[in-house]
Amino acid sequence: MATSFAVNTVIVILTLILAPIAVFPNLAVSAEPHERLSGTAGDVLEDDPVGRLKVFVYELPSKYNQKMLEKDPRCLRHMFASEIFVHQFLLSSPVRTLNPQEADWFYTPVYTTCDLTPNGFPLPFKSPQMMRSAIQYISKRWPYWNRTEGADHFFVVPHDFGACFHYQEEQAINRGILPVLLRATLVQTFGQSYHACLKDGSIVVPPYCPPQKMQNHLIPPRTPRSIFVYFRGLYNDAFNDPQGGYYARGARASVWENFKSNPVFDISTLHPATYYEDMQRAIFCLCPLGWAPWSPRLVESVIFGCIPVIIADDIVLPFTDAIPWNEIAVFVPEIDVPKLDTILTSISPDEILRKQRLLANPAMKQAMLFTQPAEPGDAFHQILNGLARKLPHDSSISVQPGQQFLNWNSGPPGDLQPWE
């Protein structure tokens, strides 16, 4: 009876709802008018950071960045590639200054996720050694790190658990944030409240999704959204957690167990060639946590106008002062995954349409993308906005003679080894 009711409800919703076009900012205006974002969120989306800050980019030996990329160009395509594109953006950005004396912020371009396995997965185990080596390099050649111990420096650390540099949560927590980064501002993909790997004051950014690749898969405007709930992804980690009880804290395994045969759920572990097209035909897209709370689905859902169903307790979302996540997404506690069908079928068509119209806002989509070349309001500019809002620096960031905050000798013994 419950299943029959859910199916009937979905049929009614599908007959009422057509897809607002999954617009990119440089494409035609949506066929459905988008709702203007109200309050602070809309204002921040339109902020222009140029003229509000100056950034000095350290010149490092190429072994820390360009040589790694030349060795393995796959780094440009994985979800952690923001560290590469932020570097490229800053080199030609109008906020860059060649005079360090006038800089508000200092940036050290280190590609900590560009050491890949044969399957293309980043290996973070040498990242702490690499980062320590880069900081030692800048501290010996310029005076700016030493005068604040990095308090006016920022680093891009986009791996699963940021500057904890491990892809499994328990080991990441045990390792903790690299001690020499404890005064710096971290630009990181990982965000979870009250977590050892999210530093106070971090700027949480979306994972990298190739803008041109997504644009190449746009389907005709006003294509009906004939899929109610869509998800493609694994429910386990075949090597580290084959049963799926630990991976994603069991949330993905619960999705699969409860809804693999449900007629209103289009879920599979296979990743089809039509993945992007399918998302544009769906009303709700499940965005459950994996090893970390986020995944590229979050970006893809926003870009393609599919209402994100966020299943990740205590997640800290990207650019929360720019994007009204509570208005565009549906949040489902991990413990309530078995009730997903009831939760989603109870959302009214009017509420679905309201969320879709908000998602059609081109500025919101722009904020989630690391566009090439950079465009106003994109993810690069949202990072700069975050840095600008931290200015002016408090005078207390300066280190007084004889004063020391950071312990260079703390951390796991392996992290203290020289990087080669």
* pLDDT in 10s for each residue of the chain, 420 residues: 445 545 555 544 554 454 444 445 443 333 345 555 544 555 667 778 989 999 999 999 999 999 999 999 999 999 999 999 999 999 999 999 999 999 999 999 999 999 898 888 888 889 999 999 999 999 999 999 999 999 999 999 999 999 999 988 889 999 999 999 999 999 999 999 999 999 999 999 999 999 999 999 999 988 999 999 999 998 877 666 666 667 888 999 999 999 999 999 999 999 899 999 999 999 999 999 988 898 899 999 999 999 999 999 999 999 998 899 999 999 999 999 999 999 999 999 999 999 999 999 999 999 999 999 999 999 999 999 999 999 999 999 999 988 899 999 998 998 999 997
Please indicate, yes or no, if residue 417 is contained in any of the structural domains.
Answer: no
Same domain, 60 and 153: yes
- Residue 353 and residue 256 share a domain: yes
Q: Give the pLDDT score at 240.
A: 63
Residues 158 and 287 in one domain: no
Question: What is the pLDDT at residue 23?
Answer: 43
Q: Does a structural domain hold residue 156?
A: yes
Do 62 and 158 share a domain, yes or no? yes
Determine the pLDDT at residue 119.
84
Contact present, 163 and 199 (Cβ < 8 Å): yes
Q: Tell whether 272 is covered by a domain.
A: yes
Instruction: Give the range of the structural domain holding residue 67, as residue numbers without chain letter.
Output: 44-209+374-394
**For residue 187, what pLDDT is reported?**
98
| Domain-embedded: residue 405 | no
Contacts of residues 197-200 at CB distance under 8 Å and 24 or more positions apart, as own/partner, are 197/161, 197/162, 197/163, 197/164, 197/172, 197/173, 198/162, 198/316, 199/162, 199/163
- Measured from the Cβ of residue 256, the count of other Cβ atoms closer than 10 Å reads 20
Number of domains in the chain: 2
Is there a contact between 308 and 206 (Cβ–Cβ < 8 Å)? no
Distance CA 31, CA 29 (A): 6
The answer to whether residue 1 is domain-embedded is: no
* Beta-sheet strand order (sheet of 227-232): 265-268, 227-232, 282-288, 307-311, 330-331
Answer yes or no: do 133 and 254 share one domain.
no
58 & 202 share domain = yes
Using CA of residue 49, residue 55, residue 61, residue 64, what is the dihedral sign?
negative
pLDDT value at residue 242: 62
Residues 121 and 202 in one domain: yes
Is 95 a member of any domain? yes
311 phi, psi to nearest 5 deg: -115, 85
Within this chain, do residues 195 and 173 fall inside the same structural domain, yes or no? yes
Q: ∠ at Cα 65 (61, 69), nearest 5°?
A: 135
Residues 201, 322 within the same domain: no
- Given a contact cutoff of 8 angstroms between Cβ atoms, the answer to whether 369 and 304 are in contact is no
Residue 13 has what pLDDT?
54
Neighbour-count burial for 173-189, b at 16+ CB within 10 Å, e otherwise? eebbbbbbbbbbbbbbb
Q: Is there a cis peptide before residue 373, judged by omega within 30 degrees of 0?
A: yes
Residue 419 lies in a domain: no
Domain-located, residue 380 = yes
Closest CA to 356 of 26, 23, 6, 10: 23
Question: Quick one: 62 and 190 in the same domain?
Answer: yes
Whole-number pLDDT of residue 47: 79
